[in-house]
Amino acid sequence: MAYPNLEHETRLWAAGCGAIAGLDEAGRGALAGPVVAGVVVLPKGASLTDIWAEVRDSKMLSPARREEMALRVRSAAAGWSVGEASAAEIDEIGIAPATRLAMQRAVGALPARPDYLLLDWVRLATVNLPQESFTKGDARIVSIAAASILAKVHRDGLLVAMDSLFPVYGFARHKGYGAASHLAAIKRHGPCPMHRMSFAPLRQEQRLL
């Protein structure tokens, strides 16, 4: 199995770019909660050692391992941030634009403007920065993999907090995704304000109300 590497960061550093930001999202396919974007800027000239040798696509890591690595990424990064787009914003503009909005907010919250963006899947036409988008970037590129960890850990924390406000849905267990128990709870109790009413199962429930 191939692991994330620094090929693209190294190429851009050699071309004169200093601050290269990797971006990824969490929560695109969920039925509830925000979509969250993470952004990580590696120290210029970082090598594939220590935390940067260990980062993986967040989906490949256990929750405990993600939490541990998120702390280390935040400590070692030259810059990092997260951005969110709410369930209401997703319903208003759609999931793809909302994902880009969360990424735009994450970039805007960095302590310093980056020189270049490396993104998983999307492009940010509204962000006036040079950028490249990659298929499965979170599995191939260290800065994007690190961003995927921050996005996932932040979003999971939000869903755990949501669970205390709306305990009947089990958000802490399934993080808002379409688990059978979640779908059953929606049928039993109806949706809550954290649900994405534009997503298919909830559109159906809305018609039945």
84-127: pLDDT as tens digits: 999 999 999 999 999 999 999 999 999 999 999 999 989 999 99
Residue-level pLDDT at 208 = 43
In a domain, 25, yes or no: yes
Residue-level pLDDT at 200 = 87
Alpha-carbon torsion (159, 155, 120, 140), positive or negative:
negative
In a domain, 100, yes or no: yes
In a domain, 1, yes or no: no
172-182: pLDDT as tens digits: 999 999 999 99
In a domain, 2, yes or no: no
- The CATH number for 97's domain is 3.30.420.10
Pairing of strands 20-26, 35-41: antiparallel
Contact between 25 and 102 under an 8 Å Cβ cutoff? The reply is: yes
In a domain, 35, yes or no: yes
Number of domains present in the structure of the chain: 1
